[in-house]
Structures are given as structure tokens and as C-alpha cells.
Structure 1
Amino acid sequence: MDKTNENSAPSDATKESSPVPSQTEKGKIAANKDPNVVDWDGPDDPANPLNWPGWKTGINCLLISMSTFVTPLASSMFAPGVPTVMEDFQSDNDLLAAFVVSVYVLGFAAGPMAIAPLSEIYGRVPVYHVCNVGFIAFLVACALAPSLNSLIAFRFLCGLFGSCPITNGGGSIGDMVRQEKRGVAMSGFAMGPLLGPIIGPVAGGFLTAAKGWRWTFWVLAILGGVVAIAEVVLLSETYAPVLLNRKAKQLQKETGNMALRSKLDNGSTPRELFKHTILRPFRMLAFSPIIIITTIYIAVVYGYLYIMFTSVTEVFEETYGFSTQIVGLVFIGLGVGSVAGVVYFSMTSDPYIRKKLAEAAGEEIPTRVKPEFRLPAVLVGSVVMPAGFFVYGWTAQFHVHWIVPIIGTAIIGAGNMLNFMSVTVYLVDAFTIHAASALAANTVVRSVAGAVLPLCGLQMYAVLGLGWGNSLLGFIAIAGIPAVIGLMRKGEWLRTKYELKDV
């Protein structure tokens, strides 16, 4: 049985309102079930993050989105400086040259399986703060690295701590934003993991040329420090089980009644709670068909993005003769496409959810809006993304004017963002109170793909050429379309039939 949520199923209905009316002992103890059970003071309790004023929710969402921009920025901002790094450390190993970039993403894979459960035990905020310190510390270590091996190790540890906002951010937003408004709030969060690595090479190319590769890490440490300080001052705890537990402890002090307990606490010891919670992402990844399908699909999408990061520089330097500084600007195409994907998702997803809520309100017994209503944008993205690879690959193959393959990368960026955002919001809607664990399971596999696939990307292009190499990626993406359609049609059935009631 779930150690943090025995008395409530992980649904929006449970999480977004309290079905237990409050009564008078300081208005804080629900009495229609057990007078010792502490719940919110009714559905409009201002202490419930779902009822926070807009400015407070906005500040928290902004800080989380800033974090999810800075940590992925560190994954690729360093990339243009790799040739200089290899020269400084007197190495000509091409595999190490690729690995020193992608090892950061392996850190993204290692961190979430511990970070997400810890946030569901101790709360989101303490985990954010600890990981911010680790992230900044290892950025400084990277800037001072005395050898290539140490740089690789520090990059890995930097990625491990940097995975925190990507892992927990979706859960935090789900904690404080209701379903019908969640799509727009998640847009900023989802843009970070995609726009950060895209903007990184643009800034990194100019910074490396002007100041050297070590300065990329100093700049990132400064940015990370500014965000970390802002979070210490302004970030608020959002996780309901932790907030209700604090409320119960406060009431124990005020009333002297030590039997008071949170509605979401079943009395497990901290040891039992940690043991159960730390296994939650692994159980989801092993036994939830929804997690398995979405994870495999997003792993392919994310891996494709990092193949682009490793190949675009070489393609435009060798095919079109771009300089190190100018080639970074090519990534603007991916950025523009990603923004277009965000705009499309924001304009269509939440309005569609509100439409379904309005329809449900007219029913005699209103039904909760299905998380699967987030998935139509995935279908659009699954068609758009392979089209972009065909355009990019064949126009570069035949040396068509450089603007055309850049347009191809913009199409890829739009499809990538539609896929990524839709699946991320879908998992938050589907798993609500355990959204961080669901996103952790997803993040681990996609990060491994993002680290491993680029290692074979350049070899694939060397064997197949740019045209057929990118066409292969497009055909594999097309093969995933039936899975998307199947999830739209049978997703609810899979969720209910294979529900992990004891996660």
C-alpha cells in the first residue's frame, strides 16, 4: 500500500479538492470520518497550493521553469568548445569527444530515480535546494578540471544534480495548477529541456571563441547561482502530503493531541516510507503500460534531438563552410520550431480540456476529464517530426541553399516539442500526486537515449549519407504513429486495467 497516500486515489478529483468538510476546532480537523484526521479546510482552503493566488503560483512556476532552462542549457552550451578541450588535454579520441558532451545526459538518467522519491518524502523544496548546491559546485569543478577524465566525471555529477528540476518540476506544477489550466503552465517547464540545449550551442560558440571553453562553466555557475538564490527566497512547498503533515504537527503542538495525523499519512515509519517510495519509479517503469509506451516513444524523440546536436555542427561546417561562431546560429531553426510547437500546444490543449469539462458539467453524473484528452497534439507531432527529417536530410545531401535544411530543423523542433509537451502533461494528469515519480521513470530512459544515440549518429551519416540517414530516423518515427493512435484509443483502458494501486 502506498505509504504517502493510503486514503486517497491518485486522481485530480482527490488532489484538487477535499471531499471532507472541515469543522470548528480551529477549522482544521475533519470530523465526518475520524476527528484525529487533518485535512484541508474545505475545497477553498488558501493553504492548499491549488488555491494559491495567481501571483504566488506564477512566481513558483517561473522559478521552476528558469531551473529547467539552466540545467539543460549546461548539457550543450559546452559543445562548441569540445575541439579546444581535446586540444588542451592533448587527445584525439573522437569517442571521448562525443562522450564528454553526452555524459551530462547520463547524469540526467542517474538522478531522477532517487530525486523524485525523495521529493515525495521530504517535499519538493528541500530537494531543489540541495540539488542546486550540487549543480553549482560541480559546474565550478568543471571550470577548474585538471584533466579530461576529471572533466567527464564532473560533467556526469553536474548532470545528476541538474536533473532535479526536470524530474520534480512537472510534479510541482501539477501540485498547484488545476487540470484545465495545466497545459499553459507546463509550457514554460517543457520548453526548458528542449530550448536550453538549442540555445546553448549558439551562446557557447561565441563565448568559447571569445573567452575559452572554461568560461562556459563559469557563466552557467553564475546563472545557476542567481536562480538558486531566488528559489531560497521565493520558492514555496507545494506537495500536499508534506504540507498536511506539517499542519498536523503544528496542531499537535497547539492542542496537545498527539493522535492527530495527516489524511495522507497511514502511520508508516520513515524507514518504511523511504523503502517504498524509492522503488516507486522502478515499479511504474516495470508494470505500467502507460509509462512503458510513453517512455519508449519519448526516448526516441529525445534521442533524435541529441543526434541533431551532435550532427548539425559538422553538417553545416563541412557542407556549407560555416565557421565555429556562425554554426551555432543554425540551432535557432530548432528553437523557432520549438516555440511554434509550444504556441500550438498552448492554444489547443487547455481550451480542449475546458471544452470537455463544460460538456461533463452538463451530465447528470459529471465525469472527470480524461488525461488522454492531452494526446491529440502527440498525433500532430508524430507526423510533423519525420517530415522535418526528410526535408533536412535530403536538402543537405544535395547542398540546397542553407536556409532550406534549417527550415527542416525547425519542423523537427516543432514536432519534437509537441510530442514532449503532450506526453509530459499527460503523465502529470494521469498520475497527479505521483507525477514526479512518473516523470522520473520517463526521464531516465529518455536521458539514456539522449546520451547513447548521438554516439552512433555521425557513423550512421558516414555510412548512409545525410539523405538516407535522416530518412531512416524519419521512418522509425513514422513506425511510432500506431502506438500514439493506440494510446489515444485505449489509454484509459490501459490505465484502469493495469492501475498500480500500491505504488
Structure 2
Amino acid sequence: MGEEEPNTSSANSTLEELSFEKQSSLEKQPSNLDEPTKQPTNQPLYPETDLSQGIIGWEGQDDPENPQNFPDSKKWILLGLISAFTLVSPLASSMFSPAVVYMGEQFGETNEIILALSVSIYLIGYTFGPLFLAPLSEIYGRRVVLSVANWFFVVWQIGCALSKNIETLIVCRLFAGIGGSACITLGAGVVADLFHERLVEKRLRFGEVSWQWIFWLLLIVGGAMQLGIEVFNKETYAPVIIKWKVAKMAKELGRTDLESVYDVGKEKLSPGQVLKRSLLRPALLLVKSPIVAFLCIYMSFVYGLLYLFFTTISDVFTSTYGFSVGLSGLAYLGIGLGFACGLFIMAITNDKIVSKMTANNGGKFEPEMRMPTMIIFACIIPISFFWYGWTADKHVFWIVPIIGMFPFGVGMMGVFIPIQTYVIDCYPAYAASANAALTATRSLVGALLPLAGTPMFDSLGLGWGNSLLGFIALVFVPVPIIFVKYGKTIREKWPINL
């Protein structure tokens, strides 16, 4: 096995050189795997098998085993199911918040930090899970890692629902978070697997039921979603598919010289060495790629603001507006609808804007074309803190602070989606690991920052506490402008070749 799989176009270039200029021309392979190889349009997009050179690749450009040649219906069913599970998993982190009071009464726990930890510990799982799930998927394939992790998430909901003390609940929530991080982390990898990187065109109310039913519901919904994924899912990571193919053909043909096209010209490493390097890859991306590090910091900041929001919502609507704990869950509708609206706006505008910018750039696509819309959405985010904070502080009619959360939801989606698609476009060969770095850093901030939320709001009050967050968000508004203006320069100055 090789140290890392090159992107598709680099592999194509290597294969062409092998076919016509012999093995010595491997030295001509480009050193920056993240920059697309410039090649004529009549050259193959996917690397093919050349038995005369002992190289195993795809059986033609239309090979049905190539995930990028899967029927569109199969691609969208699989992505739809993974997306549905991706909605369930983050929901598990926050939908427990309104029921924490009930749980605390039952377990006799009054410490606000411990109660907050029972919610945020799930995100600690989100921090550690991606660091090994993503690289494992790049060694053993997406399907087996995603399947095991999703079922791991589902099973730990039973432990949460049957917990007899808060310590057990916290531990079960931690493990559930580790499993639940897989769909968040590997979803980007599946997108990169199924769609060629340069084809750019293409909360709940619980009346009077017990808090345990939150976890039973997650068990039912999560289990149903994963059953669907099991039926429709198939391995999508090309280097792993070709590795299996090499083993099969070597046995059938009795040849020991066969090699995967994705391993050509690379250092031969033992499985242990490959695993070690793969496990370190998300951290190395943070260290070696300033653009990944900057994006992680900015995304973590926005994510931390979200969970600081969550620390006050349930208490505000129960103590200030007289909602029951169950009914207080409806207060999350404002931010939830904002998420939906932001997602819809990005879905109908993102690719259109990128396509137009590509056309204006002589048909050359650049990942930084994902970034300009972030400037608008970053300006929307601070609105919610002043609106929600002061209307709740002055006891304005309850619907007004709920509506005040809406802009934040819109802005957050408008920031998150471009960042995630950007790292896929920049580093297609490391898509899962880059996304793991994003998920781990933002989850750590989202887990720890809310622990300081209650003391902060107790000291400053809702109005000034939220205004402080709003002013900080305003300071960060120019950050996307920096990404747009200097992103390409930073990316090209520090290329990644792990």
C-alpha cells in the first residue's frame, strides 16, 4: 500500500506516462497532488488497467464498478440516506437540552456545570471520533467504517435511555457522540467519491413523556436510517476498490507483480505504517495547511456561538415566558427554520454562482469561488444576538425572540456549506481527513464553550451577554473577505502532499 492516494487526474497522468515512456518517467509526476494535472480533454478521466505494465485500474471509462459511474438514482438515494442520518446525529446533541431539568430532578443533580456537561459531552465524542474514523475509511473503505460507527451510535441510545445515574448517562452520551460523528465526517468523503471534484454543476416537542423517550426515538429513527443505508450502500472509495481488485486479479492470473494504479511510484509501507500516517493526517492538515487551520478556527467560532445560544434558550422560555419544559423545545423552531432557509438558499445559488465565476475565469474553476457568498452570511450572524438578547431581556412577546434566532440559522448555514465544499474541492484526496479536522475542532469548542455560558449570562444578563457575542461576531465579519482575497495565495504557498 502507498502512503497516500493521489487524486484521479494525477493518477491518469502517471498511467499515460507508464504506457508510453516506461517506468523511469514516474519522476515527472507532479509533486502537488492537490493541483489538477493539466491534460488534454481527450485523455481518460479515470486511470485504467494496463496489464503489460502490471498496473490495475478501471476497466474503461464507463466501468460500472467505478463509484463515479454509478447510476444517478443510486448516488442520490445513498446521499439522501446519509444526509438523513446526518440530520439525526447532530439532533441528538441538542434535542436533549430541554429535558435536562427533568433528568436532573430524577437523578438529584443540581450542579449546573454537570447538567451542562451531560449535553455537551456528546460533542466531545464528535471531537475524538473523526480523528480515527476518517483515516480508517481511507484505509478500509467508507462502507464498513460508516456502518460500524452508525450502529455504534444507535446502540448507545439504549444505554442513555436505561441510565440509572448521571455518570452512566454522560459516558453513554460520549460513546454515542463518537459513533454519531461518522456521518458528519465521512459524508464529505462520499460526495468526493461519487462526484468528480471538478463537476461543479451538479427540534422536537415532547409533551409529558419522560426524558428517556428522547433516546428511544433516536434509537428508532437512527436504526431505521442505518438499515436503509445498509441496503443501498456500496463501497465508494476508489483506491480501496482497486486494492480489492488487485488482490482478486493477482489470484486469478497467478501474478505477483500487479499494483494498484493509485500506488504507482510511491513508497511501500506496511499496513501499520499506513495506519499510523493516516491517523495523523487530520492533525497534519491542521499544522501544514494554514488555510485549513484558519477555516477550522472560524467554523469553531461560529459553532461555539450556536451552543452558547443553546445554554439560555430552555431556561429563558421556561422561567421568563412560562413554557413547560416540553413546550420550550418549540423555541428552537426559529433557529431550525433559519437552518432550513439557509440550506435552501445555498442549494439554489451556490453552484450557479460558482458556474458563472468559472465561465468568467475562462472556464477554469478555482476552490476560492465557493467563498464570496460567505461575506453576506457572515454579516447576518450578529443580528440574532442583539435581537434575541434584548427582546428576551425586556420580556417582549415570546414569538419575537424566537424570530430573532432565525438570522443566525441562515448565516450559519451560509458559512458552513462553503467551507465544507471548499475543503473537498481543495483536497479531494484528503476529503474525509480535512473534514475530520473541521469537525473535531468545532466540536471541541462547541462542547467546552457552553460550560462558561451560564456564569457569563448570570453576570452580564441576557441583553449584554448576547450583545457581547454579537460584537465578537461583528469583529469576525471581515474574515471571509480575507479568505476570498488571499485564500488561493495561502493554499498555493503551502501545498499539501502527505
What TM-score comes out, normalization by structure 1 length? Answer: 0.88
- d(CA) in 2 for partners of 1:16, 1:392: 54
**Cα contact 1:17–1:43 (8 A) shared by 2:** no
Deviations, residues 7-66 of structure 1 (Å, cap 9, x unaligned): 65544846999996599xxx95237xx721222344443332222211011011012102
Aligned to 1:225: 223
**Cα contact 2:378–2:477 (8 A) shared by 1:** yes
Secondary structure, aligned partner of 2:121: helix
- d(CA) in 2 for partners of 1:403, 1:108: 32
Match for residue 446 of structure 2 among 450, 456, 465: 450
Deviations, residues 461-501 of structure 1 (Å, cap 9, x unaligned): 22112222111111111222222111111111111111122
Please tell me the root mean square deviation across aligned C-alpha atoms, in Å. 2.5
Aligned to 1:471: 467
Deviates more, 1:78-87 or 1:299-308: 78-87
Deviations, residues 111-131 of structure 1 (Å, cap 9, x unaligned): 110111000100100101111
- d(CA) in 1 for partners of 2:140, 2:400: 50
Secondary structure, aligned partner of 1:40: coil
Aligned to 2:102: 84
Q: 1:148 offset after TM fit, Å? A: 1.2
Aligned to 1:438: 434
Aligned to 1:98: 116
Match for residue 174 of structure 1 among 189, 192, 197: 192
Letter in 2 for 1:40: W
Deviations, residues 398-438 of structure 1 (Å, cap 9, x unaligned): 22222221121001110111111111111111111211100
- d(CA) in 2 for partners of 1:259, 1:321: 74
Match for residue 116 of structure 1 among 128, 134, 148: 134
Aligned to 1:60: 78
**Cα contact 1:16–1:50 (8 A) shared by 2:** no
Q: 1:177 offset after TM fit, Å? A: 2.0
Aligned to 2:337: 336
**Cα contact 2:97–2:314 (8 A) shared by 1:** no
**Mind listing any 5+ residue stretches in structure 2 that lack a counterpart?**
12-31
Letter in 1 for 2:91: L
Match for residue 429 of structure 1 among 425, 431, 438: 425
Letter in 1 for 2:261: K
Secondary structure, aligned partner of 1:466: helix
**Cα contact 2:389–2:465 (8 A) shared by 1:** yes
Aligned to 1:403: 399
Q: 1:179 offset after TM fit, Å? A: 4.3
- d(CA) in 1 for partners of 2:313, 2:2: 46
- d(CA) in 2 for partners of 1:357, 1:324: 50
Aligned to 2:214: 216
- d(CA) in 2 for partners of 1:43, 1:373: 29
Aligned to 2:29: none
Match for residue 377 of structure 1 among 373, 378, 381: 373
Give the 3 Å change call, closer, same or farther, for CA 54–380 of structure 1 in structure 2: same
Deviations, residues 84-103 of structure 1 (Å, cap 9, x unaligned): 21122122111111110110
Give the 3 Å change call, closer, same or farther, for CA 82–181 of structure 1 in structure 2: farther
- d(CA) in 1 for partners of 2:291, 2:328: 39
Deviations, residues 225-248 of structure 1 (Å, cap 9, x unaligned): 112222221111111111121222
Give the 3 Å change call, closer, same or farther, for CA 49–22 of structure 1 in structure 2: closer
- d(CA) in 1 for partners of 2:162, 2:38: 46
Identity over aligned residues, as a percent?
A: 39
Secondary structure, aligned partner of 1:500: coil
**Cα contact 1:20–1:39 (8 A) shared by 2:** no
Q: 1:356 offset after TM fit, Å? A: 3.5
Superposed, 1:406-417 pairs within 5 Å as: 406-417=402-413
Secondary structure, aligned partner of 1:100: helix
**Cα contact 2:375–2:478 (8 A) shared by 1:** no
Secondary structure, aligned partner of 2:275: helix
Deviations, residues 342-371 of structure 1 (Å, cap 9, x unaligned): 1111121111222244445xx4xx63x111
Aligned to 1:156: 174
Letter in 2 for 1:4: E
- d(CA) in 2 for partners of 1:20, 1:226: 43
- d(CA) in 2 for partners of 1:317, 1:375: 39
Is it true that 1:282 corresponds to 2:278 in the alignment? Answer: no
Letter in 2 for 1:253: K
**Cα contact 2:150–2:183 (8 A) shared by 1:** no
Q: 1:181 offset after TM fit, Å? A: 6.0
Aligned to 1:480: 476
Letter in 2 for 1:351: K
Deviations, residues 161-185 of structure 1 (Å, cap 9, x unaligned): 111111111111121123466687x
Aligned to 2:238: 240
Letter in 2 for 1:137: V
- d(CA) in 1 for partners of 2:317, 2:42: 59
Letter in 2 for 1:296: I
Give the 3 Å change call, closer, same or farther, for CA 16–349 of structure 1 in structure 2: farther
Q: 1:264 offset after TM fit, Å? A: 1.0
Letter in 1 for 2:477: I
Give the 3 Å change call, closer, same or farther, for CA 151–298 of structure 1 in structure 2: same
**Mind listing any 5+ residue stretches in structure 1 that lack a counterpart?**
185-198
What TM-score comes out, normalization by structure 2 length? Answer: 0.89
Letter in 2 for 1:327: S
**Cα contact 2:34–2:496 (8 A) shared by 1:** no
**Cα contact 2:153–2:179 (8 A) shared by 1:** yes
Secondary structure, aligned partner of 2:321: coil
Match for residue 35 of structure 1 among 53, 58, 80: 53
Secondary structure, aligned partner of 1:446: helix
Secondary structure, aligned partner of 2:332: helix
Task: Say how many residue pairs are matched.
Answer: 472
